[in-house]
Amino acid sequence: MGLFLSNLHIKKNSNVSVSKLKAFLLTDMISKGYTQVDDSENAEIIAAIYAPENSEWISVSSDCYNFNDDHDTKIVAEPISEKFETDVIAMSCMDSDYAFMHLINHSEKTDGWVNSGSPYEGMKLPRRTSASRWKNIVSDFDKFKEIIKEDNIFAEDVFFGTAELLNMDKDQCVFEADRTEELDDNCLIKLYFSLPAGTKKALPKLHIDLYDLCPCKANVNSVVFVNNIGGRSKGVAVMFTGDYIENDDVVIYDVTFESDYGSEKRKCVPITLEKRKRADGKYVLWWADKNFQIPPAVNPNLPLMKRMNLQFKKQFGVRFFVKGNPEKFRDVEVYIIPLENVHDGYAEGYARWNVQKRP
């Protein structure tokens, strides 16, 4: 799966501190109608501040950031630059195909632009500005010019290549508010918000693009992968149903939950299914991860081949093997359920696979 991100980096100076930046973000979010909440369980929006001691920059990431061009970045970065009288860099990467860095300093009227890769078909052509506008903030300007001219396999490599010259920690380049597991908690602050009153958040809706019409076979892997055609969400469950479960007529084994399918670092997590008895007396096999991040739907306005490629990369699901009574293999039914769409025990937005009951 290619990299998608939008984040900010604020140059440290006597005006900037983590506490002041936190207060600024809180005031800004509240002024826009968001309400601060205490934890991620009740949050719909996350904002995070990351300030490693060995870096000259403080980084900010938020679910609200979606930088596609210089108009998007100026709206967010310029008020911060003006408030703290400092340099701000807005970074954005789109599926590792196209990335840019936008340097803004309000008081000095700095407006610098660096890009890498190629934008999507139909996307506005990238800006062209003189590299000289970066001269005062990099340690080796000649090296900087070499790096930004390189033809990178992954567009975000321009971030990593220039990080040392900016005296920025490389982890900051790909900083995302909802992916902070490997960062130093002592340098990290997270803020949680609910959406403004009256704002309708798109719920997740899972869909099987390639529906397998072949029944399960003994000791041969089967897969059920889905795409989300709704909004971003958190939490997913896998459920197996069928009359074969109560007496173990069919055993489901070597089950893995897979995501980031188009990535070289595809995630394959072994999972253990729990046997549960429902209120109706039927048995199911169940597993859930309340922290799994379900990516939002791919933009339907992208060109067809680009859209199909992204859908492939964003898919996730379950791989499993079966053994036991072959006559029961056709009864294997798999549900992949977004936990955010489970209310009072009733699930919506799920995807279901059964070879005999195609939706």
In SS3 terms, 235-272 reads as EEEEEEECCCCCCCCEEEEEEEEEECCCCCCCEEEECC
Whole-angstrom CA distances from 279 to 12, 22, 276, 283 are 58, 47, 10, 9
Q: How confident is the model at residue 24 (pLDDT cuts 50, 70, 90)?
A: very high
pLDDT tens digit sequence for 332-347: 999 999 998 776 556 7
188 DSSP β-pair partners:
50
Q: Where is average pLDDT lowest: 91-105, 237-251, 320-334?
A: 91-105
Q: Which residue has the higher pLDDT, 211 or 19?
A: 19
Can you give the residue ranges of every domain in the chain?
4-194, 206-353
Q: Tens of pLDDT along 181-197?
A: 889 999 999 999 887 77
pLDDT at 107 over 60: yes
* pLDDT grade for 306, boundaries at 50, 70 and 90: low
pLDDT bracket for residue 278 (50, 70, 90): confident
Which of these CATH numbers, 2.60.40, 3.20.14, 2.160.20, 1.10.3470, describes 206-353?
2.60.40
pLDDT band (50, 70, 90) for residue 22:
very high
- pLDDT, one tens digit per residue, over 169-225 is 999 999 988 788 889 999 999 999 887 776 667 889 999 988 888 899 999 999 999
Alpha-carbon distance of 180 to 33, in angstroms, equals 26
At 254, list the tokens. Answer: 């070597």
Arithmetic mean of pLDDT, 68-74: 90
The total of other beta-carbon atoms located within 10 Å of residue 132's CB is 10
Stretch among 97-101, 120-124, 271-275, 349-353 having the lowest mean pLDDT: 120-124
